[in-house]
Amino acid sequence: MTTQITKLLIANRGDIAVRIIRTCREMGIKTIALYESSDVGSLHVRRADEVVQIDSPRDFTNPDLILRIAHERGAQAIHPGIGFLAEDGTFARACLNAGIILIAPPAPVIESTHDKIRTLERVAAAGFPTTLHTSVNFTPEEFEALRVEAEALGYPLIIKSNWGGRGPGQHLVRRPDQLVEQVRRAHAESKAFYGDSRVYLERAITPAHQIGVQIVGDNRGTLIHLGEREGSLLQGNEKILEEQPAPCLNQQQREALWHTAIEIARLVDFQNVGTFEFLVDEKGNFFFTEIKARIQTEHPLPEIITRFDLVAEQIRLALGKPLGMTQEDVILRGNAMMCRITAEDPTNRSQASPGQLRRVRASGGIGTRTDTYVYGGCAVPLAYNPMIAKIATYAPDRATCLKRMARALEETTLIGTPTNLPLIERALASEAFQTGKYSTETRINLTNEELDEAYYRDLAVAVAIYHARRSSELRPEQPQRTQTGWHLSSRKLPE
């Protein structure tokens, strides 16, 4: 294996590709970005040193094509980013055989942790608490066997994709009469998003808190954690607001969770960067659920809290270098929050809203970070995940961090297509989030809520200004002063 990387192919797009490019530039590594026609204007295409056009979004999941481009362009490494081939053991093995460094956990780690049921069984056998689950996955043709297992497991239960875990393919089933429809949807989503329709069942813990512990490890057995974060505020299956540290835990619970995550990581011989996920019930008991053997969407939170560049460390660890710090070197400072801005219309059942963003203004100021691929005039493609930006804030305490996030959202401008910004602002201002007393059962509703007089006053002013500007554009008038003889004569060219 090479001990140096001079050129790296990013087998991904959007904000994570921009994020990887920035670290590579600081490390003196040239980058190759991939794009297809609908995504040609994205920021990662403009920032990379080289670009290669692919035929369709499906090409991001074509291992043979990705490897061929890497060889043709002279890349020694590939970063899979988030999604697509990020946790594909077959792709990891193909990179290993082709002599290409994959900036991810080693192939054996990806292969073993990707089998979610076997991982749960292995962790449970070692004496750690896990969620109750079925012992097998089910195909669409095995509904009757799934129904029997559901009755044995008991309701409420969660249907989860064999490939993706939470997110697409995950559905809560509260009653037996909901099972047929939710299983059908889960199979269809799993097939569409991951190419694998198999699902398994997990006994639901509700209400619960979704907690992830960030783990980093080298190939010498050194493991550290970078604290825990909570992502329990959901819209559908998707997290919308996350924060670190988790407000649902006290210090004793927090330290016990860190210790458990490290021990499970040691059990599976984990290397590189990943997240160990748990559910915490209302009594503070926690249960292991799965391992995400990749960098995650919410990685800015531990980076902000610890001042630790996870992408740079991924690259170092993939080269076989030792971890650059011990647990004693990790200092968890203050509070951080992150919201996911998506091109979805919260007033229309969160339908995707692709289109051109005519005007974009990112928030700034002290303790504020924005990760995005959009800018004024950029198009949001239909074919990809609708997330267009992540806004993160930091402060020494949670109250200040909340105020800073509110200010950052106020400063953010996205005009041209509907986004979920109004929903995020409502969620941030909710009593549940303000007090830190929220769970997976907390719901944020954008409609049917009493609004104060100032809101209607500001709305009326905005509508009046819009109407005046629109009317002026439709009926242009020439100023009187420009119609005088002196003015007209002064504009004549000399004969």
pLDDT tens digits along 102-144: 999 999 999 999 889 999 999 999 999 999 999 999 999 999 9
Instruction: Quickly count: other Cβ atoms within 10 Å of residue 177's Cβ.
Output: 8
Percentage of residues of the chain with pLDDT beyond 90: 82
Looking at the domain assignment, is residue 446 inside a domain? no
For residue 216, the SS3 value is strand
| Same domain flag for 408 and 293 | yes
Looking at the domain assignment, is residue 37 inside a domain? yes
- What is the rounded average pLDDT of the residues 435-464? 78
| Same domain flag for 296 and 429 | yes
Looking at the domain assignment, is residue 28 inside a domain? yes
Range of the domain at 145: 132-203
Per-residue pLDDT of 214-250, as tens digits, reads: 999 999 999 999 999 999 999 888 899 999 999 999 9
pLDDT of 367 over the 80 cut:
yes
Looking at the domain assignment, is residue 440 inside a domain? no
**Mean pLDDT of the chain, nearest integer:** 92
- What is the rounded average pLDDT of the residues 440-458? 73
CA atoms of 72 and 199, how far apart (whole Å): 38
pLDDT band at 450 (very low <50, low <70, confident <90, very high): low
Per-residue model confidence (pLDDT) at position 485: 60
What CATH number is attached to the domain comprising 12? 3.40.50.20
Per-residue model confidence (pLDDT) at position 460: 81
pLDDT of 167 over the 90 cut:
no
pLDDT band at 494 (very low <50, low <70, confident <90, very high): low
Among 203, 229, 253, the domain-final residue is 203
| Same domain flag for 367 and 406 | yes
pLDDT of 454 over the 60 cut:
yes
| Same domain flag for 287 and 414 | yes
Q: Nearest 5°: phi and psi at 127?
A: 100, 10
Query: What tokens appear for 299 in the block?
Result: 């990685």
Looking at the domain assignment, is residue 476 inside a domain? no
* Residue 462 CB contacts under 8 Å (≥ 6 apart), including other chains: none
373: phi > 0 → left, psi -120 to 50 → alpha, else beta; which?
A: alpha
| Same domain flag for 356 and 223 | yes
Looking at the domain assignment, is residue 474 inside a domain? no
Per-residue model confidence (pLDDT) at position 276: 98
| Same domain flag for 281 and 139 | no
Per-residue model confidence (pLDDT) at position 207: 94
CA atoms of 65 and 428, how far apart (whole Å): 43
CA atoms of 46 and 162, how far apart (whole Å): 36
276: phi > 0 → left, psi -120 to 50 → alpha, else beta; which?
A: beta
Tally of domains within the chain: 3
CA atoms of 462 and 415, how far apart (whole Å): 14
pLDDT of 187 over the 80 cut:
yes
* Residue 321 CB contacts under 8 Å (≥ 6 apart), including other chains: 218
169: phi > 0 → left, psi -120 to 50 → alpha, else beta; which?
A: left
| Same domain flag for 219 and 190 | no
Per-residue model confidence (pLDDT) at position 409: 97
Query: What tokens appear for 391 in the block?
Result: 């806004």
Looking at the domain assignment, is residue 23 inside a domain? yes
Active site residue ranges? 294
Percentage of residues of the chain with pLDDT beyond 70: 93
What CATH number is attached to the domain comprising 136? 3.30.1490.20
Per-residue model confidence (pLDDT) at position 251: 96
| Same domain flag for 193 and 229 | no
pLDDT of 203 over the 70 cut:
yes
The CA-atom distances, in angstroms, between 228 and each of 106, 215, 247, 310 are 23, 9, 10, 15
Which one has a higher pLDDT value, 347 or 165? Answer: 347
DSSP label at 384? S
* Residue 248 CB contacts under 8 Å (≥ 6 apart), including other chains: 209, 211, 230, 232, 280, 284, 436, 439
| Same domain flag for 99 and 190 | no
CA atoms of 295 and 174, how far apart (whole Å): 32
| Same domain flag for 94 and 140 | no
Looking at the domain assignment, is residue 488 inside a domain? no
| Same domain flag for 358 and 329 | yes
- What is the rounded average pLDDT of the residues 359-363? 95
pLDDT of 451 over the 60 cut:
no
* Weakest-pLDDT range from 65-69, 82-86, 235-239, 320-324: 235-239
pLDDT of 491 over the 60 cut:
no
pLDDT band at 476 (very low <50, low <70, confident <90, very high): low
Query: What tokens appear for 433 in the block?
Result: 């989030």
| Same domain flag for 163 and 215 | no
